[in-house]
Amino acid sequence: MNKQNLLADLHHSGKPYIIYKSNKGFNLYTNFSKKIILNKKNIYKFLNKKNINKKCKKTDLFIGFFGYELLNNLIGIKIPKQKNINLPKGIFYKPETKIDLTNNLNYRNGDNIKQKNNFKININKKTYTKIFDKFKKKIKSGETYQIKICTKYKTSSKINPLDFFCRLSKTNLAPEAFMIKDKNYSIISCSPENLITKKSSLITTKPIAGTVKKNKNMNKVKALNFFRKNLKETKEHNMIVDMERNDLSRICKVGSVKLSKKRVVEEYKDLFHCVSLIKGKLKKGIKNIDIIKAMMPGGSVIGCPKISTLNLLNNQEKENRNIYTGSFGYIKFNGDMRFNIIIRSILNFKNISEISVASGVVVDSNAKHEFNENYIKAKALIDLFK
């Protein structure tokens, strides 16, 4: 059967499935034999599973996501009572089928679902500025050096997630893009950021810090010059790179953590990003749980130092982040893993869609600029509802 027809048939069958960006196209996972809904208690058992298969089949893995709250719990950070939609804290699936798809995902939407695009933001510019000023004082007092203020765009709407994902892959293809479709929820993501790629004892992370809007006068060369000359963007990027290096150093052999790529530019639909790549070699005896606890939540979407900044954020935010700044990916039975940071994503749960975004605040930041940057990050996703 034609793979595109297979995808359409699978979508209309109602069976859950996952699509994840690969080097050559996309991987489609389905026919799940297990579905593990994670919580504070069973996450330790899940992450401490012994990997006994040195060689494994292409379906010998668990694929899914860790939510933000669960990752906080895992490193001993308590989150105060917040508004919560009761989405599971994390879900992983064991697939029995994996199919390779090309980058050219074609799907004809015959569902006649009319999406509403009347998004409401949970923090307006005035409220954002108050939070911004409060965090600026925390930076000046030394409680944090950089912190990310999260804003949410929400709308009540049924959606066709496969239609959204196919259109998104054509207009804003990202290296960590993924989609989950299950009975009562879906996630559509054009995440650009890889947090963990582990193969045997080698591990890499790719922090992103620095954003500039695309326009007719801004190309990749000019974007690179902008990032090099802009003091605020330089400070933000360097702080995040240093933190990610420190996170890796906790689990890697002494002297093995190296900056492989430094401040290169990646291009997306509405913006350019400043990106670096860090590599390391794991110490002997390091387990999956050690890696997850060291690296998650990803520092580039939190701020630094990580622990004190997480506490500041959690005490300020009034509603749960759910999937946002959690991680999606897989753990193979041989111990290899790949995880992204869940950003640039739509969570649709019980016919409510939410898009969460955040921008970094350092001592040189401007509230108006950061508030506007959040909208730039959300725009490619909001445009799908038109």
Alpha carbon distance 247, 260 (integer Å): 16
CATH of the domain at 23: 3.60.120.10
**Is the pLDDT score of 107 beyond 60?**
yes
Average pLDDT, the chain: 91
State the Cα–Cα distance between residues 277 and 259, nearest whole angstrom: 6
Q: So what's the pLDDT on residue 120?
A: 93
The residue range of the domain holding 74 is 3-385
Dihedral of the alpha carbons of 126, 372, 244, 27, in degrees to the nearest 10:
120
Contact present, 282 and 292 (Cβ < 8 Å): no
Q: What is the mean pLDDT of residues 334-347?
A: 96
Which pLDDT value is given to residue 292? 97
Question: 359 falls in which pLDDT band (50, 70, 90)?
Answer: confident
**Which of 141, 239, 184, 237 is CA-nearest to residue 37?**
184
Query: Residue 56's pLDDT is what?
Result: 82
The pLDDT of residue 116:
65
User: What's residue 74's pLDDT?
Assistant: 95
Q: What is the pLDDT of residue 126?
A: 94
Average the pLDDT over 187-191 and give the result. 96
Residue 158: the pLDDT is 87
The amino acid occupying position 133 is: D
Residue 194 has pLDDT above 90, yes or no: yes
Q: Which two tokens stand for residue 54?
A: 């040195």
Tell me which H or E stretch contains 225: helix 220-229
Q: Is-contact 46 72, C-beta < 8 A?
A: no
Check residue 214 and give its pLDDT.
86
288 by DSSP, 3-state: which?
helix
Rounded to two decimals, the pTM is: 0.93
How many domains does one find in the chain?
Answer: 1
pLDDT in tens, 290-306: 999 999 999 888 888 99
- pLDDT one-digit tens code per residue, 230-245: 887 888 888 889 999 9
pLDDT at 217 over 60: yes
* 8 Å CB contact between 215 and 269: no
Q: Which of 109-123, 201-215, 332-346 has the highest mean pLDDT?
A: 332-346
Task: Return the pLDDT at 125.
Answer: 93
Mean per-residue pLDDT for 195-205? 96
| pLDDT surpasses 80 at 267 | yes
Greater model confidence, 56 or 133: 133
Distance between first and last Cα of the chain: 32
Banded pLDDT at 52 (limits 50, 70, 90): low
